Structure 1
């Protein structure tokens, strides 16, 4: 058997997983309490059954008499999901006589060719909940050229994973070939995973998949399958000598509903933020110089911008001085030609009621004073020769700070503390932090070797948090404990699913499901990159207005292009939506965030519409509506030129299975409407957004 034959063999082992402890196992599930407002009820013990049939080599689960397959040997595919089905005449299963349910299994591929070892363990979950069953599966290989792969057919709707170029919700329609599962700058590459990702996926039937951080995980989602592969090799360079060659481990958990399972998973595997973020950033708009001015800023520009904001009677949380203020990237100090008296400018901004933040990155370019000051090269990601590695990024060639070194974080945060002291800057916008800016260094070396490079991103975010709560980052992995805003990747000024307006809601929902509740959407109207990275054309008016309306219901509003660049109607409309955000939406955002931090809710303030209901199949497919807490449903227009849309109101039953959902129309008024219905061709003018308030009966 050649190596290609062996590769297809192991890739076809999907479905043999979880054989141990699940043979003909029926699991009764009862409802798990979600919050103080929910009602705990007992469900039919036959409502949810997990079953493994050894004669068919199929693992199935049944909800409400609807049988689904999670794993099956007949679903085996190649690593990129494109291979042919295969048969298994050369696979021999062997179990010890003392192990009748096969908790440890050896699969021999060909006579003496390779062995694959499988162990499956039922996890004890009594410390979290008795209402979810979990099974941990581990594959290990005895040879370098056979890597274990398991594929899961998406017979349900699946959510989670990563921020993506095309942000589909659910993820069933993704088209992502097999690659290592680490964050990347997906701005120009639709096949890179994005800046925010976790090893977590959740289905509409309450099935969850979780992969531990030390597994050398590769992932594909295509052809309606999620495939995991465990394989070493760049960038997974560090091997665990206690294991054999390649290995794969993951946990599959089963609960009565996605809400139950999600709450369970976050209690068992993830953390919550221990506080709220800076609430002024949540309540009032951020005003950024970037999209409107790009790098063409100076002291007069910033002061004029601030005066315009006040002249048109807009509130603010802060003014953000973005790219273009430094002499060289990595200085972090103001160009004395463009900003002849930066301290005085910032004091003036403070006197006008603004806080001030500046834009920083983890890169220091070689001409920067900070690059050449003392023996700082040791603080950078090194190449194989022990020298500071060179990193191509969007503003030239620099070196990336190695945040796995505590001394490097001390040095970097000290530089920024000096900036605050020197100029009076209040805080910072932290850009980049993705893993591709580490792996681009040939033979990269980090101060702390790690099997999962995602820890680099976490160390960067933790270093940023030293500067306080008034923080935003754009990359995150395992950073759930930090009460800071996580920003979406730059959006283009268009209506598309490819980083345009249509990606806004799916990205916000993905962030919140992955445990990042304080979502910072990008600039209202996008960045207008259509005219080049430094171009500043004004986005079309209708796009700006529709973007504004959605952002008014998200955890933070961020302007760069301004309403007064359009007309008086846009100015008034913008003020009205800012007021709505500050006086109505903010209170629910704050309340829902407090419940999440306190553990009274399993999810942050921005929620999918299926979160409030039980077994509403239609709700799982809606990608252009969202909930603010359990109170408001938002159904905006996301199509150019549209003045109506179908609005789906989920229901009829609340997630506790006992109460009926009613929806009150906040736009048109009228009698409450029972949930579980679609309002066809609901009229929404350009200046309007459809939003509804949930009540229970």
Structure 2
């Protein structure tokens, strides 16, 4: 079906990883391919317009934008007459991904998160984890959620810590709790083939089968694995029991649910309950709801769910694959209903990029990345900032962390409100201020309806332009500004420009 793009109309689509290319206007050529199973982040089959229109399809579809027209390969639902981007979002949300009112743990918003990935990578050990956690406290950063990343187990599907590397995992957990951390453990729905667990689950028919009825062994970034068939209640019960045992035996508080990407599934797979590739990704997300401390990177039609959704790993760079992808993609997360969202690890979590630059890490980039994340709903460290930064830059990073903590109660209050209203916590300027020429502004954002953040995203910049909406604004230094115009703001390396909306 064909839909004409109106004059001065702009569109966003629910493909988070492509947020950096949005919005798309009448003169642009673009393809929103919701069928692409290679996308590394969350997807919702929705398109939203600055003129108060939306498109929705329960199934994956493709929308080609060319010559001022949107051409879809499926019959899609059209919502019309909602006036603004906000109006279109709220109408679509209420119909297609209404909010689950279960609340997310406040600690996600009030304290930083720390992930052991960049520091330890595949060599996760008790000694290394305790050293990392101790360094956080000793260097004056607040405790928060600590995520133990991949490499803690011998095999995928084994639910015990590697012997030798973890001589006393329960003691390690107790110590982390004493330091003030809540601890999450990396996990996937994958099972190492030719293992005892594989044989057990294969006999129970708990593993995904391909179109021929053979147990599927699929390639992912760590090699070849079988996949749990979580449409099978027996399988999901087995998986939940194993995770609950980890909580009971070791004191684990929650889980980082990695993997589950749609490219691990096929539409012809034989599952206990008939399920498309995309629906299997959704099933994995819904499984994680049972654990209040959760984090996901992949998702399909999971808008409105009480799930923490992190951006895909970013490169240690300033360009659109690194820092400059952070805000546009985060803002699209909100429009797709993934309102509890976390930026990628500060400085970039794509470990190959980080390793390649290990001898020449860009300290300015890490500082600006921290500032960009400071007024997001969540912020997450992995590379130890006290190790990779000099004293002055580390001081600036701690300053940004302090701001996030000071804003924590406000951010959490927004999350509580969002659980009722469905509104994003992080908002596009166009969402909050329609009709003021904000459609193309993606390098500044609103935190709720009161705080405007304008982080520096350009290397070497010591000032930036900020498009202030109508009204009166007070900046982070107490200076008053009249809105309705673009202003130039000084932004040396130790400043994150942000503004408070003054309500008369």
* TM-score computed with the length of structure 1 as normaliser: 0.68
Give the C-alpha shift of residue 249 in structure 1.
3.6
Is the 8 Å Cα contact of residues 294 and 534 (structure 1) preserved in structure 2?
no
1:351 alignment partner, one of 158, 171, 178: 178
Give the C-alpha shift of residue 632 in structure 1.
0.5
2:484 alignment partner, one of 676, 681, 688: 676
Distance 1:357 1:412 in 2: 16
Change (3 A) 1:367 1:422: farther
Distance 1:224 1:407 in 2: 50
What does residue range 355-370 of structure 1 map to in structure 2 within 5 Å?
Answer: 355-370=182-197
Aligned to 1:139: none
Aligned to 1:636: 455
Change (3 A) 1:175 1:361: farther
Change (3 A) 1:630 1:353: same
Tell me, yes or no, if structure 1 residue 511 matches structure 2 residue 361. Answer: no
Aligned to 2:500: 693
Dislocated runs of 4+, deviation >4 Å:
152-155, 172-179, 221-225, 374-377, 530-538
Aligned to 2:20: 167
Is the 8 Å Cα contact of residues 444 and 455 (structure 2) preserved in structure 1?
yes
Change (3 A) 1:221 1:339: farther
Q: What is the SS of the residue equivalent to 1:545?
A: helix
Distance 1:430 1:216 in 2: 23
Distance 2:183 2:355 in 1: 24
Aligned to 1:132: none
Gaps of 5+ in 2: none
Q: What is the SS of the residue equivalent to 1:201?
A: strand
Gaps of 5+ in 1: 1-12, 15-69, 72-151, 187-193, 231-247, 653-660
What does residue range 457-606 of structure 1 map to in structure 2 within 5 Å?
Answer: 457-466=281-290, 468-498=291-321, 500-527=322-349, 529-531=351-353, 539-565=361-387, 566-583=389-406, 585-599=407-421, 603-606=423-426
Distance 1:647 1:629 in 2: 18
2:473 alignment partner, one of 663, 670, 673: 663
What does residue range 162-201 of structure 1 map to in structure 2 within 5 Å?
Answer: 162-164=15-17, 167-172=20-25, 177=31, 181-182=34-35, 184-186=37-39, 194-201=40-47
Give the C-alpha shift of residue 589 in structure 1.
1.4
Distance 1:264 1:628 in 2: 21
Greater mean alpha carbon deviation, residues 549-558 or residues 400-409: 400-409
2:226 alignment partner, one of 386, 399, 404: 399
Q: What do the CA deviations read for 1:433-463 (whole angstroms, capped 9, x no partner)?
A: 2211102x9x42222224x543222211111
Q: Normalized per residue, which structure has more helix? A: 2
Q: What is the SS of the residue equivalent to 2:129?
A: helix
Change (3 A) 1:178 1:510: closer
Change (3 A) 1:171 1:399: farther
Q: What do the CA deviations read for 1:443-492 (whole angstroms, capped 9, x no partner)?
A: 42222224x543222211111121x2111111222223421211111111
Distance 1:458 1:528 in 2: 24
Q: What is the SS of the residue equivalent to 1:320?
A: strand
Q: What is the total number of aligned residue pairs between the two structures?
A: 502
Aligned to 1:234: none
Give the C-alpha shift of residue 518 in structure 1.
0.7
Tell me, yes or no, if structure 1 residue 416 matches structure 2 residue 243. Answer: yes
Change (3 A) 1:199 1:526: same
Aligned to 1:622: 441
Distance 2:9 2:182 in 1: 47
Q: Compare CA radii of gyration and give the structure with the larger one.
A: 1
Change (3 A) 1:485 1:167: same
Give the C-alpha shift of residue 625 in structure 1.
0.3
Q: What do the CA deviations read for 1:122-180 (whole angstroms, capped 9, x no partner)?
A: xxxxxxxxxxxxxxxxxxxxxxxxxxxxxx5785111132112562231449865575x
* TM-score computed with the length of structure 2 as normaliser: 0.93
Is the 8 Å Cα contact of residues 297 and 325 (structure 1) preserved in structure 2?
yes
Give the C-alpha shift of residue 394 in structure 1.
0.6
Task: Say which structure, 1 or 2, has more relative contact order (CA 8 Å, 6+ apart).
Answer: 2
Distance 1:502 1:415 in 2: 39
